[in-house]
Amino acid sequence: MDTFYTDERNIQMLIYLMKVHNIKKVVASPGTTNISFVASIQQDPFFEIYSSVDERSAAYIACGLAAESGEHVALSCTGATASRNYIPALTEAFYRKLPILAITSTKHMGYIGQNTPQVIDRSIPLNDIARMSVLIPTIHDEEDEWIYGVKLNAALLELCHRGGGPVHINLTTTYSINFTVKELRPVRVINRICSNDVLPELKCGRVGIFVGAHRKWSDKLTRAVDDFCEAYNGAVICDHTSNYQGKYRIFFNLVTGQSRYISPCRNMDIMIDMGDISGAYIVTTPSQVWRVNPDGEVRDTHRKLRFIFEMEEADFFNKYVEIASDKKPMSYYTECRSEYERILAKVTDLPFSNVWIAKQTCSLLPENCVLHLGILNSLRSWNFFETSISVLGYSNTGGFGIDGGVSSLIGASLACPQKLFFGVVGDLAFFYDMNAVGNRHVGSNLRLIVVNNGRGTEFKNYNNNAAIFGDAADSYMSAAGHYGKQSIQLLKHYSQDLGFEYLSASNKEEYMRNLERFITPETRNQPTLFEVFTDSKDESDALYLMNNIEVSVSGVAKEMAKKMLGEKGVKTLKKIFNE
């Protein structure tokens, strides 16, 4: 009987990536649970397979093979206690940094604890038998294929990462006996590039540098990025937390957030991914993503990751500048800047809201101040508009909670008493963290806007899942009615008794009358709290207007398809047309 590869997609993916990463030596032990894997590689002449009945011996054989050949060596065993016999040799491999790939086959993890024969719990490995352990379940859809393809890449890369060592893959099987697949469908390959490795070629085209949340940049890094943009037709895609203060900054939220317009600026040949978790939700469509970070970790945020560059950011950009042939026309940056300014010029008269406040205030913030933005409505609203290039911005996007924004702002303000620190938070975020403003160390360099709409207005926005419940969302989903129900006295008395200057506004005229006082760079002898009362419907309407400034035929078609087919239907259509 002619047999080829199994039809189990997760096993196909592993085999494909093993071949790409040149993992050809395999020590296989007999069993039923690993038949789909072993039978598949047995018919592929790429693999060099050795048999060992005793799993303990098999793992030590792998150690000897790896040490002598200098190559990665894989192990394959069945379920039950077979994998337990790998432990002594994997411990040896761990401390000798030998690249042993232990592939333990398993039934669905749901069988654990159900008195099912030959099923044991391998979900928590010992600390010193594997540098990484991943579970690869059966593949059911495109989402599964993406995330487990990333995990497989990460596991195989870890075999030689920072000295290397053993890695464990717990591979689920359905015991399929279908071995009719003649060719392995490709899996996206991710490679890691370190400082002394040969750099992949960066062909000319459109290069976007996406910067997530980032600490203050050094002058060296800023110069390196600016030089890189000029050498490779680049633009730096930012929000307030990116903190890039160079020449090629683009605030992309306004452009990519359009519901009925698909900007051509979203398309780029290469995206360089820098920084950490972004709260900008910027939508782009790069052909490839290159992640640059000293941590060297596999982070496939944009689902197009091709390379991880484990090196300092400035070193990456300077290396590519050194090998650039000549400077390229700055057509991509010019296109993006023109697109942003064109759409911004169309912003209409917005309702009184966080977005409107941001529009009036961003460009007027004093030079060299620091801006802290609350999660999520404040960050989104203010990301539509640029501040002066000298203004630094922060938000708690790491854990992405509303619980500590005011405290983080106060902590930052204590570090630099000579600087002005501005903050913008919603009422729930403020009251969650309100004890912080009573701290006796709070300085006069603190200026805080509290946008009080009496609820978590995020859940009242037109595009939030809770919006379909209308006013019923107020009871629990948006937590309306707490903290004084927009009392005009509560925060006034609280802040004044704590030594704050208190300002308030309930409409545009009152806000503008107080704005100059709030943002003045002049030193004052007390911190300031500016409470702004808005309505959730106005907040939602303002967001809708910002997201529907520009309209195109393709954008309208996409919106209609999403309404009729849902997100999954749109993805299916994309897949059909791409093929």
**Domains located in the chain, CATH noted:** 9-187 (3.40.50.970), 207-344 (3.40.50.1220), 354-546 (3.40.50.970), 552-578 (no CATH)
Burial class (CB in 10 A: 0-12, 13-18, 19+), 412: middle
d(C-alpha 80, C-alpha 102), whole Å: 15
- What pLDDT does residue 574 have? 56
- What pLDDT does residue 395 have? 97
* pLDDT 10s digits, 161-173: 999 999 999 999 9
pLDDT for residue 504 is more than 50? yes
**Amino acid letter for position 193:** I
Sheet holding 528-533, edge to edge: 392-394, 370-373, 421-426, 446-452, 528-533, 501-505
Higher pLDDT, 110 or 555: 110
Report residue 520's pLDDT band, with 50, 70 and 90 as the boundaries: very high
* pLDDT 10s digits, 172-193: 999 999 999 999 999 999 999 9
Our CA angle for 10, 113, 111, nearest 5°, is: 30
> Average pLDDT for residues 44-71, to the nearest whole number?
98
The count of other CB atoms within 10 Å of the CB of residue 38 is 23
Token digits of residue 288? 């490839």
Averaged pLDDT of the chain: 94
Query: Of the given ranges (57-71, 113-127, 239-253, 345-359), which has the lowest mean pLDDT?
Result: 113-127
- What pLDDT does residue 178 have? 96
Closest CA to 513 of 505, 523, 501: 505
Query: Of the given ranges (37-41, 114-118, 397-401), which has the lowest mean pLDDT?
Result: 114-118
pLDDT for residue 577 is more than 60? no
Distances, alpha carbon 164 to alpha carbons 95, 97, 298, 502, in Å: 10, 5, 15, 58
- What pLDDT does residue 119 have? 87
pLDDT for residue 579 is more than 50? no
d(C-alpha 157, C-alpha 291), whole Å: 15
pLDDT for residue 528 is more than 90? yes
pLDDT cut 90: percent of the chain above it? 89
pLDDT cut 70: percent of the chain above it? 96
- What pLDDT does residue 318 have? 98
* Backbone angles phi and psi of 91, in degrees to 5: -65, -45
Give yes or no for a contact between 528 and 449, defined as CB atoms under 8 angstroms apart: no
pLDDT for residue 73 is more than 90? yes
Give yes or no for a contact between 182 and 4, defined as CB atoms under 8 angstroms apart: yes
pLDDT for residue 332 is more than 70? yes
* pLDDT 10s digits, 280-316: 999 999 999 999 999 999 999 999 999 999 999 999 9
User: Going by C-beta distance under 8 Å and a sequence separation of 6 or more, which residues neighbour residue 2?
Assistant: none
The count of other CB atoms within 10 Å of the CB of residue 512 is 11
Give yes or no for a contact between 11 and 62, defined as CB atoms under 8 angstroms apart: no
pLDDT for residue 441 is more than 80? yes
pLDDT for residue 110 is more than 90? no
Q: Which residues face 28 on adjacent strands?
A: 51, 76
- What pLDDT does residue 115 have? 80
**How close are the terminal C-alpha atoms of the chain, in Å?**
33
**Amino acid letter for position 551:** V
d(C-alpha 118, C-alpha 525), whole Å: 72
d(C-alpha 352, C-alpha 533), whole Å: 9
d(C-alpha 262, C-alpha 559), whole Å: 10
- What pLDDT does residue 571 have? 63
pLDDT for residue 442 is more than 90? yes
Query: Of the given ranges (115-119, 300-304, 422-426), which has the lowest mean pLDDT?
Result: 115-119
- Please name the residue that has the structure tokens 């090196």: 311
- What pLDDT does residue 557 have? 75
Our CA angle for 97, 100, 106, nearest 5°, is: 135
> Average pLDDT for residues 256-272, to the nearest whole number?
96
- What pLDDT does residue 323 have? 94
> Average pLDDT for residues 384-389, to the nearest whole number?
97
pTM for this predicted structure:
0.93
- What pLDDT does residue 578 have? 47
- What pLDDT does residue 122 have? 85
> Average pLDDT for residues 86-113, to the nearest whole number?
95
